[in-house]
Amino acid sequence: MPNSRVWLDVDLTAIAKNFKVIRNAVKPCELMVVLKANAYGLGMLPIAEHLVSLGATRFGVAELKEALALKKRFPKLPVQILSGLLEQEVDECVRHKIICPISSPTMARWISRAAVRQKRKAKVHFKVDTGMGRLGFPHLQAAAQIAAALKLPGLVAEGILSHFSSANNPQDGKNREQLSNFRAVLDELNAKGFEFPLVHMANSDAIHNLPEALSAPFNLARTGVNLYGVFDLEGTHAYLLKPTLTLQTKLLSRRLLQAGHTIGYGCTHTLSRDTWVGTVPAGYADGIPLAASNAGHVLIRGQSCPVIGRVSMDYITVDLTPCPQAREGDLVTVVGRSGKSKISIEDWARIKQTHPYEIICALGPRVERGYKG
Ligand SMILES: Cc1ncc(COP(=O)(O)O)c(C=O)c1O
């Protein structure tokens, strides 16, 4: 994108390959693609359109606005809000045939009332808290409370789900505990005569680490972050994925500064010798972590140039010593390949001591998104 200042190229061909690999890995389960938070900040509709052309059959999102945008574009495809609803969101969800989560008796009453008022049936998935501690019917009371909710008018129970807290670590006993809690709830509900067409618990990490979550009683798996070729920093990799993201900008300035010159807010770096210093027009407003101050690097002409000084809102400063041939206007690769070198989303996550999700979701709104393939 030659006229942009900072831009993100999303490689749809690579996303297509990843989608097919993941869809194959979860078989015989169906695959739900999770596109919440604007597809983790990468652009929901272009990615959704591409995935639908490849045969994606259902979407998961976090909230009403995301669901409405997908429903408007794909009126016939199932779009599901995964975890919870505010009362103010319920009417529109029901009206637009968005699949609603029910994660409490109160939510069940709201949805039932809206369905009755609108004289229609609301498709719902019950959410069970098997140990995540965030949302859902607490597993010990879940069977009784869900059975009671199912007596309310206007609800069609299409599914039941839970969510792992520690699926990135296959050794963590919490995973087995959550699976067993979920099975107990299902058994109790089945014994009461309730069946759910869709039963699901696995996210990307569980698809890699917990094969138990991909066979009966489970018949659906949810994937988000893996679509973009991004892995959790822990856990095993059951399959390989293609990187899909390139974040680039251009070198804005190149100056020779004298030894002893300090760099940036707080003077956190002092040049030990005369140094060619480059200024790159991307900062924390674009998603470069503040933690990259005096820690990260970018690629110019295939060379790794360290970030010096503190990352500011709109700029970072880099030491151009490894790339003496650098010139104003040169391409600067923040994520992706340049020559034989590469920087991944996971590299930035390690620098920030966070997970890759936060890095991609933090790419700022002024980063121009473009889609290849
Ligand atoms: C309930 C639920 N399911 C699935 C996902 C998708 O997770 P991932 O991106 O790890 O595949 C998320 C994401 O946080 C989620 O909250």
pLDDT-derived band at 365 (thresholds 50, 70, 90) equals very high
pLDDT-derived band at 1 (thresholds 50, 70, 90) equals confident
Domain architecture of the chain: domains with CATH: 12-228 (3.20.20.10), 245-372 (2.40.37.10)
- How far apart (Å, rounded) are the C-alpha atoms in residues 40 and 296? 22
- Ligand 1 center to residue 244 CA distance, Å? 19
How high is the mean pLDDT of the chain?
97
pLDDT-derived band at 301 (thresholds 50, 70, 90) equals very high
pLDDT recorded at residue 24:
97
pLDDT tens by residue, 141-196: 999 999 999 999 999 999 999 999 999 999 999 999 999 999 999 999 999 999 99
- Ligand 1 center to residue 62 CA distance, Å? 10
**Which ligand 1 atom lies nearest to the CA of residue 207?**
11
pLDDT recorded at residue 269:
98
Q: Is 222 touching ligand 1 by the criterion CB < 6 Å?
A: yes
- Ligand 1 center to residue 314 CA distance, Å? 31
pLDDT tens by residue, 318-330: 999 999 999 999 9
Helix (H) or strand (E) holding 371, with range, is: strand 368-372
Number of other CB atoms surrounding residue 24 within 10 Å = 10
- How far apart (Å, rounded) are the C-alpha atoms in residues 25 and 20? 9
| pLDDT above 90 (res 206) | yes
Residue 120 tokens read as 């229609």
Active site residue 123: no
pLDDT recorded at residue 87:
97
Tokens 């900062």 sit on residue: 283
Note the pTM of the prediction, 2 decimals.
0.94
pLDDT recorded at residue 2:
65
What are the Cα distances from residue 371, in Å, to 1, 2, 52, 234, 356? 10, 14, 15, 29, 20
**Which ligand 1 atom lies nearest to the CA of residue 223?**
11
pLDDT-derived band at 34 (thresholds 50, 70, 90) equals very high
Q: Is 232 touching ligand 1 by the criterion CB < 6 Å?
A: no
- How far apart (Å, rounded) are the C-alpha atoms in residues 306 and 34? 35
- Ligand 1 center to residue 82 CA distance, Å? 9
Alpha helices in the chain (DSSP H): 12-26, 36-41, 44-53, 64-73, 87-95, 105-117, 139-149, 173-191, 204-209, 345-352, 356-361
Average confidence (pLDDT) over 269-295: 98
pLDDT tens by residue, 57-66: 999 999 999 9
- Percent of the chain's residues with pLDDT above 90: 97
- How far apart (Å, rounded) are the C-alpha atoms in residues 77 and 59? 8
| pLDDT above 90 (res 287) | yes
> Three-state SS for 127?
strand
Q: Among 350, 363, 347, 291, which residue's Cα sits nearest to residue 37?
A: 363
Average confidence (pLDDT) over 247-261: 98
pLDDT recorded at residue 60:
98
Q: Spell out the residues 6+ positions from residue 191 whose beta carbon is closer than 8 angstroms to its own.
A: none
The one catalytic residue among 27, 72, 239, 265: 265
pLDDT tens by residue, 66-117: 999 999 999 999 999 999 999 999 999 999 999 999 999 999 999 999 999 9
pLDDT tens by residue, 118-153: 999 999 999 999 999 999 999 999 999 999 999 999
Q: Which residues pair with 269 in a beta bridge?
A: 263
Torsion sign across C-alpha atoms 152, 154, 156, 161: negative
Active site residue 242: no
Average confidence (pLDDT) over 285-306: 98
DSSP string for residues in 296-361: -EEEETTEEEEEES---SS-EEEE-TT-TT--TT-EEEEEEEETTEEE-HHHHHHHHTS-HHHHHH
Number of other CB atoms surrounding residue 266 within 10 Å = 10
